[in-house]
Amino acid sequence: MYPQRSPVQGRRVQLMLTCLCDAFYDDVATAAVTALEHAGCEVVFPAAQTCCGQPAYTTGDWDACRRVVQHALVVFAEDVPVVSPAGSCAAAIFHEAPIVFEGHREAPAVRALANRTWELADFLVNGLRVESWPGRLQARIAVHPGCHNRGTPTVAAAERLLGSIDGVELVPVTDADLCCGFGGVFSVGFPHISSAMGLRKVAALMAAAPDLVVSPDMSCLMHQRGLAEHAGEKFPARHLAQVLRDALP
C-alpha cells in the first residue's frame, strides 16, 4: 500500500541507490544527484547501504528480507526523506518491508522508514511540489511505467516532469501497463516466459517510433534492452533521471 503523506518541509535527503546502479548504472546515480540538487536538495549518500530486500522478498525468504531491512533501518536512521531512482526499490521499502514485519517489535520503525521513502519523480512532484522541469530536449518519448509503480503517483509524476520539458513529445504505447517480464528473480526462474513477455513489450514500445524509451526503473530497461540487442535491434533506453539531467540548460 502506498503511504499517505504530505509534502516535505526540508531539503536534506538520503539517496538510496540500487544494486543495478552499483553494478551497471552509475550514471543513473549521478543523474539523480544532479536532479535533486537542481531542485534545491542537499543529497547525502550513506555509504554502508546495501540492498532494499526485494530479491529475498520475491523468493519467499522473508527471514533474509528482514535482515536486509534491519540493516537499512540503521543506515537510513536519520529522520529525513529517503529517495531512490528506482520505483521497485522504493516500493520494496514502503510496501513490502512493512508486510514482512507485521507483528514484529520493529514494525513501527519499519513503517516510519516506509513513510519517508520515495521514488525520485514522486518525490520531486509530490514531495517538493516541483511543477515543471526546465531546459529543452527534442525527443519523442515512450514511457514504460514498471509494475512496482502501479498504485503509486510515480508514473503520473514522471510524465508530468517529462511533458513539461520544452521539445518533448510523449507518445502513446499500446498496452503500456503490461509487464515486461523482468520481475527480478522471475526472469531467472522462468526465462522463456520472461523473454516472451519482454519481446512483446519491446515490440509495443518500438511501434510508437520513439526517440527514447524512458522509465523510472532501470531494471525493466536493462531487461528490455538486453532482449532487443540480442535480437539485433536498437533500443534507445534512458532512465528518467538521465533525461531530467540532460534537459537542464
Rounded Cα–Cα distance for residues 201 and 137 (Å): 25
pLDDT score recorded for residue 74: 98
Is the CB of residue 154 less than 8 Å from the CB of residue 241? no
Q: pLDDT band at 228, cuts 50/70/90? A: very high
What is the domain extent for residue 91? Answer: 12-126
pLDDT digits (tens, 9 = 90+) for 53-98: 999 999 999 999 999 999 999 999 999 999 999 999 999 999 999 9
Residue 2 falls inside a structural domain: no
Which of 126, 154, 179 delimits the end of a domain?
A: 126
pLDDT at 20 over 90: no
Domain identity same for 105 and 17 = yes
Asked whether residue 184 carries a pLDDT value surpassing 90, the answer given is no
How many Å apart are CA 238 and CA 175, to the nearest integer?
Answer: 20
Question: Alpha helices, DSSP H only, in 92-168?
Answer: 97-100, 107-115, 120-122, 154-164
* Final residue of a structural domain among 75, 110, 126: 126
In this structure, are 156 and 71 located in the same domain?
Answer: no
Q: How many CB atoms lie within 10 A of CB 191?
A: 11
Residue 4 lies in a domain: no
Instruction: Answer for the pair 170, 159: CB distance below 8 angstroms, yes or no.
Output: yes
Is residue 94 assigned to a domain?
Answer: yes
Cα gap 249→237, rounded to integer Å = 22
Q: Is residue 78 part of a domain?
A: yes
Q: Is the pLDDT of residue 188 over 90?
A: no
108 and 150 part of one domain: no
The confidence score (pLDDT) of residue 62 equals 96
The answer on 100 and 17 residing in a single domain is yes
Residue 114 sits in the same domain as residue 156: no
pLDDT at 202 over 90: yes
Q: Return the bridge partners of 119, or none.
A: 84
d(CA 38, CA 46): 20
Q: Is residue 83 part of a domain?
A: yes
For residue 183, pLDDT over 90 is answered with no
Residues 136, 80, single domain; the answer is no
Domain-embedded: residue 6: no
pLDDT for 134 equals 97
Domain count within the chain: 2
In a domain, 17, yes or no: yes
Residues in the chain: 249
- Res 6: pLDDT: 80
- Banded pLDDT at 207 (limits 50, 70, 90): very high
Contacts of 197 by beta carbon, 8 Å cutoff, 6+ apart = 178, 179, 180, 181
Mark which of 126, 146, 174 sits at the end of a domain. 126
Say how far residue 143 (Cα) sits from the centre of its chain: 13
At 99 the pLDDT is: 97
Q: Is 205 a member of any domain?
A: yes
Give residue 193's pLDDT.
97
